[in-house]
Structure 1
């Protein structure tokens, strides 16, 4: 058991990084934005994992495997976001309830739905995450934090690509016939 009696750093406090040299007031804005994106990414990640576990039907294997790849990419992006928040002198957000509380997205409820409905819900959340990332890319640029801007751009590219692919899964053209 830990003998530490006090937190080394409180969540929400930002300590200026001597190496990165972004003023504390700017770093606070950036860490807040990053924690918002971290929360949104993890909420989306958990919804994608839910659909990965629950997908059924003729297209099960392809969608199951694809959603596993999406989840892995989201988790990797979340790691980049959290590490950048820490590098800027902040404390990355953690914990499921905290993610949902701070996220600009709302997950679907805990029930299981058909895969089309699930993917429609995912597509909606992808759009919200994309908008948040774009807003925070502009913020990072306006504050002169080009590293955060570039990292978020790379994450945005991946998120947009997955959103686009999910949109394709939802098209009417399919080989599966229903009787």
Structure 2
């Protein structure tokens, strides 16, 4: 444990930033970034859970896909956190703070069948994508083109992952009902 007793910057505060983004504008963008950061960590934990628990004929493909998707969520969360810090904010952190800040909910600890799990994932992605689109617009409207770009890049990646979830949920499969029950 650290012996340092002084706080360098309190959570939910905004300091002047070296890129000269107006403090009031930065506050609005940091609030949006922290929401997206929290949502991505909810996604990360849910996907990690599904990665651990996936079973069935498509186990290997889904196991690998879920790993790739949760890595995307974690990588993008890190980039968003660094952007929030760069414009004078404190990235939201810690399980209870992330849960409180997120606008999406973790499905809980119960283990569901694969189709339900993936449907839950697609729903949490859709909600996150909608919110992030609003935040892209906000950052652009406030003249924070760097944050706008970070969010746009993130949006492309998570939309692509959502598209893959949608494909996994399609009815067409090579696995027959008979093969599943044998």
Corresponding residue for residue 30 of structure 1 = 29
Unpaired runs of 5+ residues, structure 1, are: none
Unpaired runs of 5+ residues, structure 2, are: none
CA RMSD for the aligned pairs? 0.7
Corresponding residue for residue 109 of structure 2 = 110
User: Take 2:9 and 2:50, find their aligned partners in 1: how far apart are those partners?
Assistant: 36
What is the Cα deviation at residue 96 of structure 1?
1.4
Corresponding residue for residue 2 of structure 2 = 2
What is the Cα deviation at residue 3 of structure 1?
2.2
Q: Secondary structure at the match of 1:172?
A: coil
Q: Secondary structure at the match of 2:98?
A: helix
What is the Cα deviation at residue 2 of structure 1?
2.1
Q: Report matched runs for 1:4-19 at 5 Å.
A: 4-17=4-17, 19=18
Q: Report matched runs for 1:101-140 at 5 Å.
A: 101-140=100-139
Q: Report matched runs for 1:147-166 at 5 Å.
A: 147-166=146-165
State yes or no: 1:82 paired with 2:106: no
Taking structure 1 as the reference length, the TM-score comes to 0.98
Q: Secondary structure at the match of 1:136?
A: helix
**TM-superposition CA deviations, 1:40-87 (whole Å, max 9, x none):** 000011001100110000100000000000011111100110000000
User: Take 1:98 and 1:72, find their aligned partners in 2: how far apart are those partners?
Assistant: 21
Aligned length: 178
User: Take 2:159 and 2:139, find their aligned partners in 1: how far apart are those partners?
Assistant: 19
